[in-house]
Amino acid sequence: MDLVLLFFIFVLAAFLGLELISKVPSQLHTPLMSGSNAISGITIVGALVATGANETGAMGMILGFLALMFATINVVGGYLVTDRMLQMFKKKDK
């Protein structure tokens, strides 16, 4: 894996993120936060590999399993609660 390439991706993503989010109206700050929080559960990908691959040793697998459980709570809970909140944001017809 080319390290410079990884940093390149990181920097581009940072600028993209700053650009995307600077225009969000304040009324949506809470769902934005919990929705992006769910995305940060992407660590689940690392946890899956650590849990399933036997090469990590027993300790590594236990840590991977715990990581997987917490990341799953983060992902599932985060998406569901965001959806629950957004469902309430309605414009009434008058």
Partner 1 sequence: MEFESIINLAYVIAATLFVFGIKMLGSAETARRGNLISGVGMLIAIVVTLLDRGILDYTWIAVGLITGALIGGVAARMVKMTSMPELVALFNGFGGLASLLVAWAEFEKIKSQGWQLYSLEMGTPSYFSSFVIYIAMLIGGITFTGSLYAYGKLSGRVSSRAQVFTGQKGINALMLIAILALGVLFTWSGDLGTADKLFIAGITLALLFGVMGVMPIGGGDMPVVISLLNSFSGLAASAAGFVIGNNVLIVAGCLVGASGLILTAIMCKAMNRTLGNVLFSGFGATSQSGGDDDDREPKAISVQDAYYVLEAASSVVFIPGYGMAVAQAQHVVKELGELLEENGAEVNFAIHPVAGRMPGHMNVLLAEADVSYDQLVEMDSINPIMPTVDVAVVIGANDVVNPAAAQDESSPIYGMPIIEAHMAKTVFILKRGQGKGFSGLVNKLFVMDNSRMIYGDAKATISEMVNELKG
Task: Please give the residues from 15 up to 34 whose contact with partner 1 meets the rule CB under 8 A.
Answer: 15-18, 20-34
Instruction: Please state, in angstroms and rounded to a whole number, the distance separating the CA atoms of residues 60 and 3.
Output: 25
Q: How many CB atoms lie within 10 A of CB 17?
A: 11
Distances (CA, A) of 51 to 27, 58, 79: 39, 10, 23
- Shortest spacing between CB 92 and partner 1, in angstroms: 4
79 binds partner 1 (CB under 8 A): yes
4 binds partner 1, rule: CB under 8 A: no
Least distance to partner 1, CB of residue 8, Å: 10
Shortest Cβ distance from residue 28 to partner 1 (Å)?
Answer: 6
- Name residues contacting partner 1, limited to 44-63 (CB under 8 A): 44-57, 59-61, 63
Distance CA 48, CA 16 (A): 27
